[in-house]
Amino acid sequence: MNALLLLIYNAVLNGTPLLFGTVGEVLTEKTGNLNLGVEGMMYMGGALGLGGAFYYEMFAGQNASGFLAVLIAILCAFLGGAFGALIYSFITITLRANQNVTGLALAIFGTGAGQFIGEYMRTTSGGYVAISNHLKSAFMTSPLPAALQNIPVLGPLLFQYNIFVYLGIMIAVLMGLYLRRSRSGLYLRAVGESPSTADSAGINVTRYKYLATILGGGISAIGGMVYIMTIAGCVWNHEGLAGEGWLAVALVIFCLWRPVSAIFGSILFGALMILYLRLQLPFIPDQIYKILPYIVTVIVLIFTSMRNSKDKQPPASLGLAYFREDR
Amino acid sequence: MHEQKIPLIRLAKRDSMEPWKVWCIRGSSFLAAILLGALIFLLMGNNPIAAYGTILSGSLGKKTAIRQTVKLAIPLLGTALAIAPCFKMRFWNIGAEGQITAGAMAASYFALFWYDKLPAPLLLLVMGVAGAAAGGLWALIPAFFKARWNTNETLFTLMMNYIIIGIVKWLQGGPWEGRPGSQMIPMFDSAAVLPKIFGVHCGWIIVLVMTVLMYIYMRHTKHGYEIAVIGESENTARYAGMNVGRIIMRTMFLSGGICGVVGFIVASGANGTLYDGVAAGVGFTAITVAWLAQLNPFAMIGISGLLAVLEKGADTLQTRMAVPASISDIITGIFLFCMLGCEFFINYRMIFRGKHKEVA
C-alpha cells in the first residue's frame, strides 16, 4: 500500500510540468496552430522563472517572501513563453510561414535562449545559481494546512503536493470548461476546425489565433519553470529539461486535445517516467521503460486514426495557415 | 464614407516577382538577422563587430577550423537532402533525428561485431547499406500508417525519434557497453572508420555526390514528378492513376535511407563510436535548412555551410570571449525567423488603403 501511495505521489509530481506544457499546447492547437516549439518555450520559462526567483531573493535579501517569489517565477516564465509564442504567431499567422518549420525554429531558438540565460546567470553569479532553502520550500512543499496533510492515506494522496499541482489542475479544469461550455470557447474551436467558416460567421480569426497561441505558450512555459523548481531542485543544470517539451506534444495527442483528460494523462506519463525506479521487472531494462510514454502515444495515434471517430480527431485545420482570399 | 470600411492594408497573392527583387528581400532579411544578432551582443556587453569577427575567424580562419566547420556541415546537408522529397510531397517528416540514430545503430552493429570478419572496404560498404536499410525501415513505419489510415505523420515521426534514442541508450548501458559501468560503447576498430580526404572524413564526398543525385532525382525523373504532383494535390495524383500510398512509402523509405547513411557517416567518420546523442539535433535543424533552401539541393549547401559556420564560430566565441556557446542557437533561431518571415513579402502583395490603381 505504501509503495503504491509513493508511486502515485511521485507520478503526480513528475506529471505536473507536463500538465502545464500540455494544457498550454492544447489551447494553441485548438485554434489550428501546431506549435512544435513547446520545448523551446519551456526552456525559456525554466531559465527565466529560476532567474526571476533568484534575482528577487538577491534583491530582497533576508526578508524575501516565498509567496512573492513563486508569483514572480510564474510571471517571468509566463512572459518568456508568451514572448516565444508571439514570435511564432507573428511569423505563422501574420506572415503565413509554414508552422512545422517555424515551430522547430522556435524550439532551436528557445532551447538556445534558455541555455544561454542559465549559463549567463551561472557565470555572472559565481558559478552556482540556487535559491535559499527558505524559498525552496515555498516551491516544493504543500501550501495546505498541516491538519489536512496529516490525514492518513488521503493526506499524502491529495494534500501534500506543491502549489503547482493544484494550480495546474485548476487551469486544466478551467480550460476544459472554457472550451466546452462557453461561447468564446466555441468560437475558438470553430477557428481551429474551419477558419473560413468562423470568419464568415464574423469571428475574428486572427485575434483568436494570436491570443490562444500566446496564452498557451505562456502556460506551457510555466511547466518548464515547474520542472526546474520542483523536479530539478531549483538549480540550473546543463541537462536542462531533457525533452520534457516534446513529451508534452505527445501528451496532447494522448489526451485527444482535452484539457481535463490531460490531468490523468500527465499522471500516467509521470508514472511511466518513474516506473523504472519503483517497479523493477527482470529482463526489462530502465531505458526501455523510459520510452514507454512515446510508444503509448504512437499506439493511441494509430488507434484514433484507424477508428476515425469524429470526436477524437485533431482540429481539422491543424498546421494550416489561414488566408481569407484563398479558395 | 465608403473609404473607411476598407482596411488599412489588404493582401493579395503575388504571381511572380523579378529575381533581383526576390534577392533584395532575402538579402535585407539576412541583414536584419545580423543586426538583431548584433543587438544581442551589445546587450551582453560585447562589441558586435569583434564578436562576428571571432565567429568568422574561429570557423574559417585556419585550416583546422575549416575542417571542423565542414565536419559540422556534412550531416546537416545530408539530412536536409533526405528531407527534401518528403517536404516536397507535403509529408512532414520530422523524424530525421530518429532515422539518423537508427542508421548509426545498424552501422555500428557491423562495426562492432564484424570488423574482423570482413576486409575494410567491404565492411564500410556493408555498414553504409545497413545504415540506409535501418533508417529507411524506421521511416517506413509511419509512412505505412499514413498511407493506410492517414495517421498524422508529424506527430508519429516525432515520437519515433525518442523510441530509437531510448533503444540506443539501452544498448549503450547494456548489451553493447564497453568497459562495464562506463555507459559507453567502445571505439570502432580502425577498419570501420571512414578514411580521410583533405583532412576530413570522406563523408563530404558522399554528401556532395548525393546532392547532385538528389537534384536530378527531384527535377528529372518520373519519381520526382510524382512527388511534386502529390505535393500540389493528392487528388490530382489519384485521378492521374498514381498509387499515392505506394509513392508515400517509397519516398519515405528513400528519405529515411539517406538519413541512415548520414547516421553511418557521423558514427563512423566523425565520432568513431555510437552514443545516444549521435544525431545531436541535426534532424531538426536540417528541416529548417531544407525549407529555407526552398528544397533546392544546391542552395542547401550554402545554408548548411552558414549554420555550420555559426556553430563552430560560437564555440570559438565561448573560449575567447566567454560568451556561452548556446548563443549559436539563438542566432540560428533569429536567422531562421527572419528568413521564414521574409518569404511572406515574396509571396504576397500588400495593398494600402487609398491606392486604387491596380498593380499588374
Q: What residue ranges do the domains of chain B occupy?
A: 1-46+323-360, 68-321
Task: Please give the grid coordinates belonging to residue A96.
Answer: 503565413
| ipTM of the complex as predicted | 0.86
pLDDT(A174) > 60: yes
Contact: B159, A250; criterion CB under 8 Å: yes
Handedness of CA A195, A199, A203, A204 (dihedral sign): positive
In chain A, what are the domain boundaries? 2-312
Cβ–Cβ of A325/B324 closer than 8 Å? no
For residue B97, which of B333, B329, B286, B250 has the smallest C-alpha distance?
Answer: B286
Rounded-to-integer distance, Cα B98 and Cα B168, Å: 10
Q: Compute the distance between CA of residue A268 and CA of residue A287 in angstroms, rounded to an integer.
A: 17
* Amino acid identity, position B271: N
- Chain A CB contacts of B145 below 8 Å: 302, 305
Tell me whether residues B149 and A325 touch, CB distance under 8 A: no
Helix, strand, coil: what percent of chain A each, to 5? 75, 0, 25
Please state, in angstroms and rounded to a whole number, the distance separating the CA atoms of residues A241 and A11.
17
Asked if B166's CB is within 8 angstroms of A91's CB, the reply is no
Cα–Cα dist B188/B185, whole Å: 9
Residues A82-104: what's their mean pLDDT?
91
Does A97 contact B341 at a Cβ distance shorter than 8 Å? yes
Chain A residues whose beta carbon lies within 8 Å of the beta carbon of residue B166: 287-288, 290-291, 294
Chain B contacts of A250, Cβ < 8 Å? 155, 158-159
Name every chain B residue with its beta carbon within 8 A of the beta carbon of A323: 11, 13
Indicate the burial class of B306 (C-beta count within 10 angstroms; 0-12, 13-18, 19 or more). middle
Judged against a pLDDT cut of 80, whether residue A233 lies above it is answered with: no
**A312 vs B contacts (CB less than 8 Å):** none
- Give A296's pLDDT tier (boundaries 50, 70, 90): confident
Q: What is the CATH number of domain A2-312?
A: 1.10.3470
Question: Which of A43, A98, A101 to mutate: most B Cβ within 10 Å?
Answer: A101
Candidates B9, B177, B335, B337: best to mutate against A (most CBs of A within 10 A) is: B337
Contact state of B149 with A105 under an 8 Å Cβ cutoff: no
| DSSP-derived 3-state class of residue B13 | strand
Verify whether the Cβ–Cβ distance B162 to A105 is below 8 Å.
Answer: no
Interface test with B, best of A35, A100, A108 (most B CBs within 10 A): A108
Question: Who contacts B259 (Cβ-Cβ below 8 Å, separation ≥6)?
Answer: B78, B79, B82, B96, B99, B100, B102, B103, B135, B139, B283
CB A228 within 8 A of CB A234: yes
- Whether A109 and B288 lie within 8 Å, measured CB to CB: no
Among chain A residues, CA nearest to B175: A285
**Cα B93-A301-B143 angle, rounded to 5 deg:** 35
Q: Residues B161, B104: contact at Cβ < 8 Å? A: no
Q: What per-residue confidence (pLDDT) applies to A282?
A: 63
What contacts B45, CB < 8 A, 6 or more positions away? Answer: none
If DSSP states are collapsed to H, E and C, what string results for B184-195?
A: CCCCCCHHHCCC
Per-residue pLDDT, A239: 66
Cα distances from B314 to residues A236, A321, B68, B149, B309, in angstroms, run 21, 34, 12, 45, 8
Tens-digit pLDDT profile for residues A24-36 = 999 999 999 989 8
Of A100, A113, A301, the CB nearest to B156: A301
Nearest CA among A315, A317, A316, A312 for reference residue A301: A312
**Chain-chain contact of B337 with A96 (C-beta, under 8 angstroms):** no
Q: Do A87 and B337 touch (CB under 8 A)?
A: yes
Q: What is the CATH number of domain B68-321?
A: 1.10.3470
| pLDDT (0 to 100) of residue B154 | 84
Name, in order, each residue with C-beta under 8 angstroms of B72's C-beta and a sequence gap of 6 or more: B308, B311, B312
**A294 → closest Cβ in B94, B162, B291:** B162
- Asked if A79 contacts A48 with a C-beta cutoff of 8 angstroms, the reply is yes
User: How many residues comprise chain B?
Assistant: 360
- Residue B286 to residues B151, B283, B329, Cα–Cα distance (Å): 24, 5, 13
Contacts of A96 in chain B (CB under 8 A): 344, 347-348
Mean of the per-residue pLDDT values for chain A? 86
Put simply, the answer to whether B92 touches A100 (Cβ < 8 Å) is yes
Q: What per-residue string of b and e applies to A308-322 under the rule 16 or more CB within 10 Å gives b?
A: eeeeebbbebbbbbb
Instruction: Indicate the residue type of A227.
Output: Y
User: How does pLDDT run along chain B (360 residues), one tens digit per residue?
Assistant: 455 566 777 777 777 777 888 888 888 888 998 899 899 888 877 888 888 888 888 888 888 888 888 888 999 999 999 999 999 888 888 899 999 999 999 999 988 888 888 787 888 899 999 999 999 999 999 999 988 888 888 888 988 998 998 899 888 887 888 777 777 888 887 777 777 777 777 888 888 999 999 999 988 999 989 888 888 888 888 888 888 889 999 999 999 999 999 999 999 888 888 888 888 888 888 988 898 888 889 999 999 999 999 888 888 888 887 778 788 888 889 988 998 888 888 888 777 776 555 444
Which positions in chain A touch B284 (Cβ < 8 Å)? 104, 107-108
Nearest residue in chain A measured CA to CA from B168: A287
How close, in Å, is residue A156 to chain B by CA atoms? 32
Chain A residues in contact with B170 by the CB 8 A cut-off are: 285-288
Nearest to A108 among B151, B327, B333 (CB): B333
Q: What are phi and psi of A26, to 5 degrees?
A: -60, -45
What pLDDT shows up at residue A230?
A: 87
Q: Which residues of B touch A285 (CB under 8 A)?
A: 170, 173-174
Cβ neighbours of B338 in A, within 8 Å: none
How far is A160 from chain B, CA to nearest CA, in Å?
Answer: 32
Mean pLDDT of A286-302: 83
Q: C-alpha grid cell for residue B120? A: 575494410
DSSP states of B150-207 as a string? Answer: ---HHHHHHHHHHHHHHHHHHHHHTTT-SSTTS--PPPPPGGGSPPEETTEETHHHHH
- The per-residue pLDDT for range A58-71, each reduced to its tens digit, is 887 777 787 888 89
Do B174 and A287 lie within an 8 Å CB cutoff? yes
Question: What's chain A's length in residues?
Answer: 327
Among B44, B154, B159, select the one facing A34 at the smallest CB separation: B154
pTM of the entire predicted model = 0.88
Please report, to the nearest 10 degrees, the dihedral formed by the alpha carbons of residues B233, B238, B242, B244 taken in order: 70
pLDDT digits (tens, 9 = 90+) for A133-146: 777 777 877 777 77
Best B88, B159, B233 residue to mutate vs chain A (most A CBs within 10 Å): B159
The pLDDT tens digits of the residues spanning A186-224 come to 999 999 998 889 988 989 999 999 999 999 999 999 999
Contact by Cβ (8 Å): B135, B263 = yes
Q: Give the contacts of B65 (CB within 8 A, at least 6 positions apart).
A: B57, B58, B59, B312, B316
CA dihedral defined by B288, B289, B290, B293, rounded to 10 degrees? 120
Helices within chain B (DSSP H only): 19-44, 48-60, 63-88, 96-113, 120-149, 153-173, 203-220, 222-232, 234-239, 244-265, 282-292, 297-321, 327-347
> What is the rounded distance in angstroms from the CA atom of residue B87 to the CA atom of residue A310?
28
Shortest distance, CA B201 to any CA of chain A (angstroms)? 27
B115-119, long-range: CB < 8 A, 24+ apart: B115/B188, B115/B189, B115/B191, B115/B192, B116/B189, B119/B191
